[in-house]
Amino acid sequence: MRLYDTLTRQPIELPPPPEPIGIYVCGPTVYQRAHIGNARPFVVFSWLARWLREQGHDVRFVHNITDVNDKIYEAAPGRSAGLASEATGWYLEDTAGFGLGMPDAQPLATETIGEIVSLIEELAEQGHAYAVDGDVYFRVGSFDSYGALSGQRPDQVEEQEPNPRKEDARDFALWKATKEGEDTSWDSPWGRGRPGWHIECSAMAEQELGAEFWIHGGGLDLVFPHHENERAQSLAAGRGFARIWMHNGMLRFTGEKMSKSLGNVATIQEVLRAWGAETALLFFMTAHWRKPIDFSEQTLAAAQAQAETFRNFFREVGEGDGEPSRDGLAGVLDDDFNTPDALALFHEWRSRGDAASLRWGLGLFGLGGLAAADTAPSEVVQLAGRRAEARAARDWALADRLRDELAAAGWEVRDVEGTPPYRLVRR
């Protein structure tokens, strides 16, 4: 299998199974309900992990949580730890709603402080870091290939984290002395403080996957400074670190405003409630992981229509049996994990009436529900989603009216804990 690598700007070949494949993907900074754009790396790398496992690799998928950070201090002055813990719960609940299973490990920065401090001490001993008034900075000039990942010349790297006491404008913080109003801090050789964002990931990746591993992923917005700095820290400390750097394209809001009935849908929770996990997953499949993806009412409606064609197929043919033909899918996924081509192949299988292959393929992408004989049609799922939104907004009259509409369509809606917060049962 070949995967495009940001550092070398070309595809890199993975060794054949059962080579163990470690995957580290940067997770969210937790202080609010995660935006649907944050779901893209979770979905893409969950799929990749599932596919590699299917091929016989021993996969370990690690997705961290950044639970100490300036943004969290700003969002909840004096009670950032409480907010971070609550928002961690939201993120786990929201991503579980895709039905793709959970990563093998979801380490918290605040539970990795010992490893982080040790790594900073090592960098300082080797001359790659220096302390100033309780802060510790990485000495960018000490690492020759700084800038290689983001394609910047080392002598022209932009300034980071302005502070007149730094040796060099390019240097960045590994440890930050506690400031007034920050409610979380730890002891360190440099006094009370907390880690910088970048060193957290270097330490968590090594703790979970060892000094060298195959794949490091994240959004394209993380290439600089975050991943440039992770790479500098870990390589300067003598680790091999990631062999392939994968960066997913960004989600763009485009076109017309969201319809009134659905409100301005933007969080993972809202999208899953309003459209259901299957439509959301099909939407993400429509774009290659390296390309941008356009989020609009139109693109989601198009994904919903595709979901419906698969459901209709299985309503006609029933469950189907026989052996799936796996080779075609390997052909498109092993070439830089091309999910739009995989989706095109699924439609080809549908038009050829190959139910066994289609059920297997959909299942790999968490879409097995489309192959169940008795699933609710999209318009019913959408009614239930609108009702969940109405309930969240405490518009009981609208919620009751939508319940009646569902009943008229032959479906009973039951409220449950989770995402989506309902189950549909045929009346």
Residue ranges in contact with Zn ion by CB under 5 A: 26, 201
Least distance between Zn ion and beta carbon 176 (Å): 17
C-beta of residue 195 within 8 angstroms of C-beta of residue 113: yes
Is the CB of 7 or the CB of 362 nearer to Zn ion? 7
Contacts of 53 (CB under 8 A, 6+ apart): 59
Is the CB of 219 or the CB of 369 nearer to Zn ion? 219
Is the CB of 233 or the CB of 357 nearer to Zn ion? 233
Least distance between Zn ion and beta carbon 184 (Å): 19
Least distance between Zn ion and beta carbon 136 (Å): 18
Nearest-angstrom CA–CA distance, 208 and 229: 19
Least distance between Zn ion and beta carbon 111 (Å): 15
Alpha helix segments (H runs only) across 276-395: 277-285, 297-317, 327-333, 339-352, 355-364, 378-392
Is the CB of 92 or the CB of 223 nearer to Zn ion? 223
| Tokens, residue 182 | 């920050």
Is the CB of 216 or the CB of 350 nearer to Zn ion? 216
Least distance between Zn ion and beta carbon 348 (Å): 38
- Output the CA angle 341-345-350, nearest 5 degrees: 150
Least distance between Zn ion and beta carbon 246 (Å): 13
Kind of pairing between the strands at 172-177 and 20-25: unpaired
SS3 349: helix
Is the CB of 26 or the CB of 49 nearer to Zn ion? 26
Is the CB of 215 or the CB of 406 nearer to Zn ion? 215
Least distance between Zn ion and beta carbon 148 (Å): 17
C-beta of residue 293 within 8 angstroms of C-beta of residue 284: yes
Is the CB of 226 or the CB of 288 nearer to Zn ion? 226
- Output the CA angle 290-294-299, nearest 5 degrees: 125
Cis link prior to 17 (omega < 30° from 0)? no
Phi–psi pair at 279, nearest 5 degrees: -65, -40
Is the CB of 26 or the CB of 237 nearer to Zn ion? 26
Is the CB of 201 or the CB of 384 nearer to Zn ion? 201
Which letter does DSSP use for residue 3 in this model? E
Is the CB of 105 or the CB of 356 nearer to Zn ion? 105
Least distance between Zn ion and beta carbon 24 (Å): 8
Burial class (CB in 10 A: 0-12, 13-18, 19+), 284: buried
Nearest-angstrom CA–CA distance, 252 and 193: 37
How many residues are present in the chain? Answer: 427
Least distance between Zn ion and beta carbon 201 (Å): 3
Least distance between Zn ion and beta carbon 23 (Å): 13
Least distance between Zn ion and beta carbon 108 (Å): 13
Nearest-angstrom CA–CA distance, 104 and 176: 30
Contacts of 72 (CB under 8 A, 6+ apart): 29, 30, 31, 80, 83, 84
C-beta of residue 60 within 8 angstroms of C-beta of residue 209: yes
C-beta of residue 64 within 8 angstroms of C-beta of residue 109: yes
Helix (H) / strand (E) element for 25: namely strand 20-25
Helices and strands counted in the chain (H then E): 14, 14
Nearest-angstrom CA–CA distance, 165 and 116: 23
